[in-house]
Amino acid sequence: DTGVSQDPRHKITKRGQNVTFRCDPISEHNRLYWYRQTLGQGPEFLTYFQNEAQLEKSRLLSDRFSAERPKGSFSTLEIQRTEQGDSAMYLCASSSTRRDINPEAFFGQGTRLTVV
């Protein structure tokens, strides 16, 4: 297993366009998290899944943001009608709730979004 994979690594889009990011977690991990990070700040929680169920969604997440994990494996994060304030690094992480696997979350390399 090569770890958490995110695609694309970089995305430049025009304001008002929709964008979709993909995350492939570590295969034996049942939890998957999405975070947003801006320069000089720590990662800000967006949402997380356990298997295919979305367990929590941040109040900060507007209705332009939606995430899915339809088969409990990979996940997508879509941003509709992008705004310049959406420019950030979008990070995906995965972890396991199994007792025989350490609980720490491992991160992908992120998708850098620039809205022009």
Partner 1 sequence: EDQVTQSPEALRLQEGESSSLNCSYTVSGLRGLFWYRQDPGKGPEFLFTLYSAGEEKEKERLKATLTKKESFLHITAPKPEDSATYLCAVHEGKLIFGQGTTLQVKP
Burial 3-21 (b: 16+ CB within 10 A, else e): ebebeeeebebeeeeebeb
| DSSP bridge partners of 33 | 48, 93
The site string for partner 1 over 4-23 (x = CB under 8 A, - otherwise) reads: x-------------------
* Of the residues 11, 25, 48, 115, which one makes contact with partner 1 according to CB under 8 A: 48
In the complex, what is the shortest distance from the CB of residue 109 to partner 1, in angstroms, rounded to a whole number?
5
Q: Give min distance, CB of 81 to partner 1, in A.
A: 26
Q: Given the rule CB under 8 A, which of 12-20, 59-67, 73-81, 97-105 is the region that contacts partner 1?
A: 97-105
Distance CA 20, CA 22 (A): 7
Question: Contact between 40 and partner 1 (CB under 8 A)?
Answer: yes
Question: What's the min distance (Å) between Cβ of 44 and partner 1?
Answer: 8
Please count the residues of this chain forming the interface with partner 1, following the rule CB under 8 A: 24
9 or 81: whose CB is closer to partner 1?
Answer: 9
One-letter amino acid identity for 20? T
Q: How far is CA 8 from CA 11, 20, 53, 74, 83, in A?
A: 7, 9, 24, 14, 19
Which CB, 76 or 80, lies closer to partner 1? 76
CA 44, CA 5: separation in Å to the nearest integer?
Answer: 19
